[in-house]
Amino acid sequence: MKRIMRGAGVLAAFSALLLAGCGDGGADTDAMESDMGDMPAAMEPGAEPMEPATSGPAFVDPNQASRDELAGVEGMSAAAADALIAGRPYSDMLAVDRVLAAHVDSAGRETVYSRIWIPIDLNAASEEEILLIPGVGPRIAGEFEEYRPYQNIEQFRREMGKYVDENEVARLERYVSIR
């Protein structure tokens, strides 16, 4: 009987390993960046809270940056930098997006928003504003909204960690705040 139970345990472990190797966790980065839709790179239940793996380069604040700083961001033109400066101050990313839309196409704005950003309030941002975060599609935007109100950033890390891996949680965390 022990031999059968041990064999069943080995078979279960092998099956789990095999399934993990064939799962969606290896989704290509194009799919992840377009919607992050079907990539359940979930954190282990009961795992320790995550510290951001990398903080990445600091964002350029569209309210404070010089013309040269803005124009130096990939995807930005001198005309777009001038338009951003002329429209100051900005209270949110929707206002920034309205100005840039006249000068930069949607793919270019996604590139720009990887460097120019005003953190959005997790508890108040609209879906439209959440969708401005590069790589976030409707599914992940819905997950942002589902867990409101957020009490702290640890809660955000824990909830998003159910859907994306630790590095992606750290990347997303750079775009948000809790006010």
Domain boundaries, the chain: 30-177
In angstroms, the CA 139 to CA 172 distance is 14
Q: What is the mean pLDDT of the chain?
A: 80
Say what the pTM is: 0.70
Instruction: Name the range with the highest mean pLDDT among 20-24, 37-41, 113-117.
Output: 113-117
Peptide bond preceding 89 in cis form (omega within 30 of 0): yes
Angstrom distance (rounded) from CA 173 to CA 87: 27
Question: Which residue, chain included where needed, has tokens 């990398």?
Answer: 54
> pLDDT of 84-119, one tens digit each?
999 999 999 999 999 999 999 999 999 999 999 999
Q: Residue 66 burial by CB count (10 A; 0-12/13-18/19+): exposed, middle or buried? A: exposed
**Residue 145 pLDDT exceeds 80:** yes
pLDDT band at residue 56 under the 50/70/90 scheme: confident
Which residue in this structure is represented by tokens 């064999």? 7
Say what the pLDDT of residue 21 is: 45
Judged against a pLDDT cut of 60, whether residue 36 lies above it is answered with no
C-alpha 148/C-alpha 117 separation (Å) is 22
pLDDT of residue 57: 85
> CA 164, CA 41: separation in Å to the nearest integer?
5
Look-up: residue for tokens 């320790």? 48
Place of tokens 């460097």: 115
Q: What share of the chain is helix, strand, coil (3-state, %, to 5)?
A: 50, 5, 45
Pairing of strands 120-121, 176-177: parallel
Q: Which of 25-39, 62-76, 90-104, 145-159 has the lowest mean pLDDT?
A: 25-39
For residue 90, the model assigns a pLDDT of 98
Measured between its terminal Cα atoms, the distance across the chain in Å is: 59
Q: Is the pLDDT of residue 33 over 90?
A: no
Mean pLDDT of 108-132: 98
Coil, strand or helix at 116:
strand
| Residues present in the chain in total | 179
Interval 140-153 mean pLDDT: 97
